[in-house]
Amino acid sequence: MHFAILPLLFSRSHLGMNFFRFTDPTVPDIGSKFTGNMYFPFIGTQKINLSVKSKKIANIELSGVINVADDIEYYVKKGEFGFILSDNLENILKKYHCSINEASYIDNVATVKIHIKPLRIKRSVVLNRIYS
């Protein structure tokens, strides 16, 4: 095999995509899905599903004690992971005296810190990636 042919074999036009894909481990891939849940004695289980729709938008689905599905905006600045909840989601969380205080994403694991004021609970919820 001639070495002059190697660049052609790994070119974008030949493969239809970039052969070497370097991803940032601090940013979730588009299409990624995550799930996690929390159990509260006498109250029940709260399930959280998160689907990444684009570089800035994700869909969050809560089922259990709180039932809602809505889009959130997320961003990564200087390695810090942040999010902006929709007004609808913000109002629902206020109704139940809950808040999502911070989020992180490292190596395909998302974590959110929640605060449930009436129960005086502050807990981190791990959202593991679902591979389909």
Phi–psi pair at 116, nearest 5 degrees: -110, 100
69 bridge partner residues: 61
Rg (CA), the chain: 19
Torsion of CA 112, 65, 87, 118, to 10 degrees: -80
3 domain residue, yes or no: no
pLDDT of residue 26: 63
pLDDT at 24: 58
- In this structure, is residue 20 part of a structural domain? no
The pTM score is 0.74
Structural domain contains residue 15: no
127 within 8 A of 35, measured Cβ to Cβ: yes
Give how many domains the chain has, as a whole number.
Answer: 1
Burial class, 76, CB count within 10 angstroms (exposed 0-12 / middle 13-18 / buried 19+): middle
**pLDDT for position 88:** 94
Q: What is the pLDDT of residue 61?
A: 94
Under 8 Å between Cβ of 115 and 26: no
Predicted local distance difference test score (pLDDT) of residue 25: 59
Q: Look at residue 73 and tell me if it is in a domain.
A: yes
Please give the pLDDT value at position 128. Answer: 92
**Per-residue pLDDT of the chain in tens (132 residues, 90 and over written 9):** 443 443 333 434 334 333 334 455 567 889 999 999 998 888 889 999 999 999 899 999 999 989 999 999 988 776 567 889 999 999 999 998 999 888 888 878 888 888 888 888 899 999 999 987
Q: Is residue 12 part of a domain?
A: no
Residue 126: inside a domain = yes
CATH number at residue 108: 2.40.128
Within-domain flag for 78: yes
CB atoms within 10 A of CB 102: 13
Domain region containing 79: 28-130
- 65 found inside a domain: yes
